[in-house]
Amino acid sequence: MSETVLLVGGGGREHAIARALAPDCTLFACASNRNPGIAALAAGFENRSETDPDAIVEYAESIGATLAIIGPESALAAGVADALEEAGVYTFGPQSTEAQIETDKAYQRSFMREHAIPGCPDFETFEDIEAACAYIDEYDGDLAVKPAGLTGGKGVKVIGDQVTPEEAKTYLRESEYDRVVLEERLVGEEFTIQAFVANGEVRTAPAVQDHKRAYEGDEGPNTGGMGSYSDTTTHLPFMTSEDYADAVEIIEATVDALEGYKGVLYGQFMLTAEGPKVIEFNARFGDPEAMNTLPVLETSFLDVLVAAREGDRLPELLFTSQATVCKYAVPEGYPTNPNAGAKIEVDEDAAGDALLFYASVDEREDGLYTTTSRSFAVVGRGEDIATAETISEDALSAAGEGFHIRHDIGTASLVQSRIDHMNELQN
């Protein structure tokens, strides 16, 4: 039987999902923005808010969806998976209560503590902002200041890196957060591992390193991610295979404790001198990490979804032995003051050997427009990171005018700096 799959979301992550699924199924999609890359792959594309469960269920029923997959965390938090499941559409994505592992950082940390999941840093949660400020004064060391809810990857402030203790307290006092988490600052190198989870089974993808700072050399404010890279092995150049295995064990322990979780569980880790520690969990594919992972997945992604629905063992994941480098083109001024609503042109042919994924753009009758978020990404694949980086860099001529790009992602100098940093910490 041919599967009819509904994809919820219209970003670069969802374009990567669409590209992985479209050859094997009849794909439909809905999102608040019209993504031209997804629309070109789908049999139908509707403008529906990702946080409107009723509208999404109505569309799923109108197309006869036999499967659904949810891209953005906002949809999970809004209960879209719950509503689709109630309507009889199997959804590869957690229910809203399970998605709290991402959507509520206080819950996430308390869950890890309660279930003795390894890799959890010291932390405390606060509803009283003045009590949180007092904790900053009393704590012996630097802290990461995290709003408990979703902030699109931009709400965290790290004392000793981004802000001083006084600036952190000012940030809290001027914010409107009703709950915050203060946790020990983890020092090391960040990496992420995405796991496909269903029926108690866990299948993991190669590690990816994302770069959240807006400017080259890891300067500037945090963003949703300016780009990322993966290697030809499961681990990254600054890691060992044992580090990767230790992180996978943390993911598996978390899945065991969650009981019945299905969808993608994304672990963001800090490789410290003592091994991997958990920065956070996400309840969906990463963006940009999905664009590193799905283009090198040889196993049919649809087979994974069908096995999950049928209660079967998930297929083993096979990946090509290729490195990947993803670089985002974002509107000028992003993330603090992005030039939204600007008409842009993207020359897809100029991407050459790279893959081009549209993200937060809106296709209208008279052309393509920016939004407040990232516009598109290019992904190079190659026999090593350097080759993949060259392919992605050559493709950036597709960006045209009006964009900002971090050209250093995946370069030999930046990768080597990560290796040197870990060597310093471990020695």
Grouping H, G, I as helix, E, B as strand and the rest as coil, residue 403 is strand
| Amino acid identity at 117 | I
Q: What is the rounded distance in angstroms from the CA atom of residue 367 to the CA atom of residue 340? A: 14
- Report the 10 Å Cβ neighbour count for 277: 20
Q: Does domain 122-184 have CATH number 3.30.1490.20?
A: yes
Which tokens in the block code for residue 98?
Answer: 């399970």
- Per-residue pLDDT for 335 more than 80? yes
Contacts of residue 212, Cβ cutoff 8 Å, sequence gap at least 6: 153, 222, 223, 224, 225, 226
- Report the 10 Å Cβ neighbour count for 195: 22
Percentage with pLDDT > 70 across the chain = 99
Contacts of residue 149, Cβ cutoff 8 Å, sequence gap at least 6: 103, 104, 105, 177, 179
- What's the pLDDT at 154? 64
In angstroms, what CA-CA distances link 295 with 7, 16, 17, 253, 301?
17, 7, 9, 28, 11
- Per-residue pLDDT for 320 more than 80? yes
Evaluated on CA atoms 118, 103, 83, 58, the torsion sign reads negative
Q: Where are the domains of the chain?
A: 4-99, 122-184, 189-420
| β-strands 323-331, 403-405 pairing | antiparallel
Angle at the Cα of 292 from the Cα atoms of 358 and 81, rounded to 5 degrees: 70
Greatest CA separation found in the chain?
62
Q: Does domain 4-99 have CATH number 3.40.50.620?
A: no
Mean pLDDT of the 395-406 span: 90
Query: What is the overall mean pLDDT for the chain?
Result: 95
Q: What is the rounded distance in angstroms from the CA atom of residue 290 to the CA atom of residue 14? A: 8
pLDDT tens, 182-199?
Answer: 999 999 999 999 999 999
Q: What is the rounded distance in angstroms from the CA atom of residue 226 to the CA atom of residue 388? A: 16
pLDDT tens, 146-175?
Answer: 888 776 666 889 998 889 999 999 999 988
Which residue, chain included where needed, has tokens 């971090």? 406
Name the DSSP class of 305.
H
- What's the pLDDT at 6? 98
- What's the pLDDT at 427? 84
- What's the pLDDT at 39? 97
- Report the 10 Å Cβ neighbour count for 188: 21
CB 135 within 8 A of CB 126: yes
Mean pLDDT of the 323-333 span: 95
- What's the pLDDT at 288? 96
Q: What is the rounded distance in angstroms from the CA atom of residue 422 to the CA atom of residue 427? A: 8
pLDDT tens, 208-251?
Answer: 999 999 999 999 988 989 999 999 999 999 999 999 999 999 99
Percentage with pLDDT > 90 across the chain = 89
Q: What is the rounded distance in angstroms from the CA atom of residue 350 to the CA atom of residue 354? A: 9
189-420 CATH: 3.30.470.20
Which tokens in the block code for residue 51?
Answer: 């946080």
CB 422 within 8 A of CB 188: yes
Grouping H, G, I as helix, E, B as strand and the rest as coil, residue 242 is helix
- Per-residue pLDDT for 129 more than 70? yes
- What's the pLDDT at 225? 93
CB 69 within 8 A of CB 19: no
CB 385 within 8 A of CB 233: no
Radius of gyration from C-alpha coordinates of the chain: 21
Contacts of residue 397, Cβ cutoff 8 Å, sequence gap at least 6: 347, 350
